Amino acid sequence: MPLSPELTTIAESTKGFMPPREAAALFDAATLASPGIWLEVGTYCGKSTVILGGAAKAAGATVIALDHHRGSEENQVGWEWHDESLVDPEAGCLDTLPSLRRTLRIAGLEDTVTPIVGSTQSVGAWWSTPLEFLFLDGNHTEEVAQHDYSAFARHVSPDGILAVHDVFPDPADGGQPPWHVVQRAVESGAFIQLAVTDSLRVLRRVPGIDFR
């Protein structure tokens, strides 16, 4: 069953960077996951969060949406994807948390999605909960992308699902760090690739193989 028309409309109208084909593929990937805790790394205003939240609500799962809500490099002043409407005038910097909260409210997902406001470095240091689904779509520098994989992919349960966004094998198409994460995951033997939809990769955790 696809995402409901109501949630599809909300997701499409929410600010973010996920085309409809990838959004549909993300929803399909989430339907492969067991109930339990699902983690989204990189939330922005909640476009992909609505997609995951819709799947989680149907499955009886809980989505943890992790983001510091200050934006990545490309969202800052002077960069291509800066949005002045998301700047907190008092703080003088980006703050996407109010937009996320509004998105969750109008989508009816406040009981399904729990936001965590913090960096992946701070949260990754104490995270220990097993994950049935992990979506990596945070900061795309090499250092942070590798950190996020190391910190959270180790907690994906056997047969759990890992999805990685903005994966571009050809550097002419986009940045390489998410592609390097996928390469690392597959080459380690800990994950096998299930699907490719444009820049979205979906993998499954292999039972009995230690994380590396």
Q: Could you give the residue numbers annotated as active site?
A: 140
- Helix 20-30 to helix 5-13 angle (10° resolution) is 130
CA 181 – CA 183 distance, rounded (Å): 5
Q: What is the DSSP string of 71-109?
A: --GGGSTTSTT--GGGEETTTTEE--HHHHHHHHHHHT-
- Which residues 6+ apart lie within 8 Å of 22 measured at CB? 165, 197, 198, 199, 200
Buried b (16+ CB within 10 A) or exposed e, 136-161: bbbbbeeebbebbbebbbbbbbeebb
- Which H or E run contains 183? helix 177-187
Single-letter residue type at 51: I
